[in-house]
Structure 1
Amino acid sequence: MRGLRFVLILPVCFLLGCTGSDDAPARRIVTGNVLFQNQPIKNGTIRFIPQPSGPVASARIADGSYRVENKGGVPLGEHRIEIRSAAGGTELVEAEVMPEKNAAPVTVIPQKYNDNSNLNAVVESGDGAMQLDFTLD
Structure 2
Amino acid sequence: MSAMKYTLSLLCLLMLTLGCYSSSGPDLISVQGNVVYQGAPVKEGVVKFIPAQGVKAPARTVPVVDGNYELDGRFGLMLGTYNVKIEGYEGEDVPLSDPTQKVTTRRKILPAKYR
TM-score by length of 1: 0.56
Identity of aligned residues (%): 30
Bigger relative CO (Cα 8 Å, ≥ 6 apart): 1
Question: Could you say which residue in structure 1 is the equivalent of 2:19?
Answer: 20
Deviation for aligned residue 1:58: 1.6
What letter matches 1:49 in structure 2? I
CA RMSD of aligned residues (A): 3.4
**Paired residue for 1:77, among 76, 80, 103?**
80
Deviation for aligned residue 1:68: 1.2
Deviation for aligned residue 1:59: 1.1
Contact 2:28 2:73 in 1 (8 A): no
Q: Give unpaired runs (5+ residues) of structure 2.
A: 93-101
| Runs of 4+ more than 6 Å apart | none
TM-score by length of 2: 0.65
Q: Give unpaired runs (5+ residues) of structure 1.
A: 90-100, 115-137
| 1:21-78 deviation per Cα after TM superposition (whole angstroms, max 9, x unaligned) | 7795432121111111111111111111111153111211111111112633122111
What SS does structure 1 have at the residue aligned with 2:113?
helix
